[in-house]
Amino acid sequence: MVLSSRERRQQSSPALGAAREVLWHDLECGAYRADLALWHELAEQAPGQILDVGAGTGRVALELARDGHHITALDRDGGLLQALRERASGLAVETVQADARAFDLGGRRFALCIAPMQTVQLLGGSDDRMAFLRRARAHLRPGGVLACAIVTTLDPFDCDTGDAGPSAESTRVAGHRYTSRATRVRVSTQSIVIERERRIFGPRAPAGELSLERNVVVLDRLSASELEREGVAAGLSALPSRSVAATEEHVGSAVVMLRA
Ligand SMILES: C[S@@+](CC[C@H](N)C(=O)[O-])C[C@H]1O[C@@H](n2cnc3c(N)ncnc32)[C@H](O)[C@@H]1O
């Protein structure tokens, strides 16, 4: 096989900058499918447009748009939204780069606002969550629904002390192999801290490790009843919550449902 000089360059250097962040995001979030049936069900019941908060590269937004729904995908990360736009060609998807705690879409009102995959636990505690809930309420039409997935329990482990932990997720892009493995979960009264090792291996055999970085995600610890109370304080009313069952690879989640 003859490679062009551009292909040779792509094979010899791993992804950089935003492309690398997109790659890690897809690797760590993209394979999760257990929640999609619920988002489809809620979208089918929504008589209007849908706002996906913390949309990332569009795991849920693209799925719903392929089903004919009009989606506004909001995220603060412009690199992830750029990837979403490239994948959304021909679909009814708009992107908005904004902070979930402070967005203003100029009077637009949605029938459904979703926050999949623990996005509400990334906002930085109760005050910031309240700011998001108020913004979400302001963007819902009367009777519109806000649905937020949260993880309430996660078993702690530590690979440094001999726990096996989950197996690594891995992908090969332009000859390089990227792996991400959760190596530690710490649970305290306030937070759930998830540590991952992200490794990149070069294209030539024997494949050498080119880089190792540690990634740390801090989730606010939150119960469904606490989020419901906050929702009510933000002017929403609580509906019966839903759940997404655990799978072999992923923990289950509660989905808190609030109505405007
Ligand atoms: C766990 S990912 C979920 C991505 C996608 N919704 C999915 O389910 O695959 C959380 C997303 O929330 C975004 N995010 C975190 N904090 C945010 C904030 N304050 N405002 C807007 N987006 C935020 C991140 O950039 C990331 O894309």
Per the DSSP assignment, residues forming a β-bridge with 150 are: 254
Distance separating alpha carbons of residues 40 and 49, to the nearest angstrom: 13
Residue 79 has pLDDT above 90, yes or no: yes
CA dist 39 → 55, 133, 242 (Å): 13, 19, 11
Q: Which of 192, 188, 185, 180 lies closest to 159 in space, CA to CA?
A: 185
Q: State the chain's mean pLDDT as an integer.
A: 93
Residue 88 has pLDDT above 90, yes or no: yes
Residue 2 pLDDT level (bands cut at 50, 70, 90): very low
Q: Which of 208, 135, 216 lies closest to 177 in space, CA to CA?
A: 208
User: How far is ligand 1, taken at its centre, from the CA of residue 151, in Å?
Assistant: 14
Residue 1 has pLDDT above 80, yes or no: no
Q: How many residues does the chain have?
A: 260
Residue 5 has pLDDT above 80, yes or no: no
What is the pLDDT averaged over residues 206-223? 90
By 3-state DSSP, what share of the chain in percent is helix, strand and coil, each rounded to 5? 30, 35, 35
Binding site membership of 99 for ligand 1 (Cβ less than 6 Å): yes
**Nearest ligand 1 atom to alpha carbon 149:** 8
User: How far is ligand 1, taken at its centre, from the CA of residue 217, in Å?
Assistant: 12
What is the pLDDT averaged over residues 15-42? 94
Q: Which two tokens stand for residue 57?
A: 């590269």
Residue 13 pLDDT level (bands cut at 50, 70, 90): confident
Binding site membership of 60 for ligand 1 (Cβ less than 6 Å): yes
Q: pLDDT tens for residues 97-115?
A: 999 999 999 999 999 999 9
What is the pLDDT averaged over residues 135-151? 98
Q: Which two tokens stand for residue 51?
A: 């706002």
Binding site membership of 58 for ligand 1 (Cβ less than 6 Å): no
Distance separating alpha carbons of residues 199 and 215, to the nearest angstrom: 11
- Note the pLDDT of residue 208: 84
Q: Residue 174 CA to chain centroid, in angstroms? A: 25
Residue 248 pLDDT level (bands cut at 50, 70, 90): confident
- Residue pair 229/106 in contact (Cβ under 8 Å)? The answer is no
pLDDT above 90 covers a percentage of the chain that reads: 85
pTM greater than the 0.85 cutoff: yes
Amino acid at 109: R
- Residue pair 72/52 in contact (Cβ under 8 Å)? The answer is yes
Give the 3-state DSSP-derived string for 65-81, with helices as H, strands as E and coil as C. HHCCCCEEEEECCHHHH
